[in-house]
């Protein structure tokens, strides 16, 4: 479980993660305000807690799943229990706001390179 401090290659994401689901997926949490990405935990909530302990605001944190073997829109899945927050008008496990999804995608692209 770590907040990335260096970018990593998409092809190395599975190799550098201790917690891989179905041999093809890594959980992540993005802090859209700080532009940071945390990966490698059993639960999104664990990564969320790591961010909170390091000064992030909960409203800035969004859970995702990364599929390094997939391309384009299939690489990032916007699905996590931590995303359910009616007070931010997000009533599902997805990320309903297109601007927030775009911010998440930009942060992931900054930290996970081709």
Alpha helices in 1-111 (DSSP H): 44-53, 98-111
pLDDT score for 23: 78
Q: pLDDT tens digits, residue range 40-88? A: 999 999 999 999 999 999 999 999 999 999 998 999 999 999 999 999 9
d(CA 65, CA 56): 20
Predicted TM-score (pTM) of this structure: 0.94
Question: Where along the chain do its domains lie?
Answer: 2-113
């Amino acid at each position: 479980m770590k907040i990335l401090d260096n970018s990593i290659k998409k092809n190395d994401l599975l190799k550098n993660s201790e917690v891989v689901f179905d041999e093809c997926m890594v959980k992540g949490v993005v802090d859209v305000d700080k532009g940071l990405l945390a990966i490698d935990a059993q639960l999104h909530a664990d990564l969320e807690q790591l961010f909170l302990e390091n000064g992030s605001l909960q409203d800035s944190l969004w859970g995702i799943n990364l599929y390094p073997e997939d391309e384009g829109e299939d690489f990032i899945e916007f699905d996590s229990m931590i995303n359910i927050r009616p007070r931010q008008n997000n009533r599902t496990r997805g990320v309903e706001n297109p601007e927030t999804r775009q911010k998440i995608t930009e942060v992931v692209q900054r930290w996970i390179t081709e």
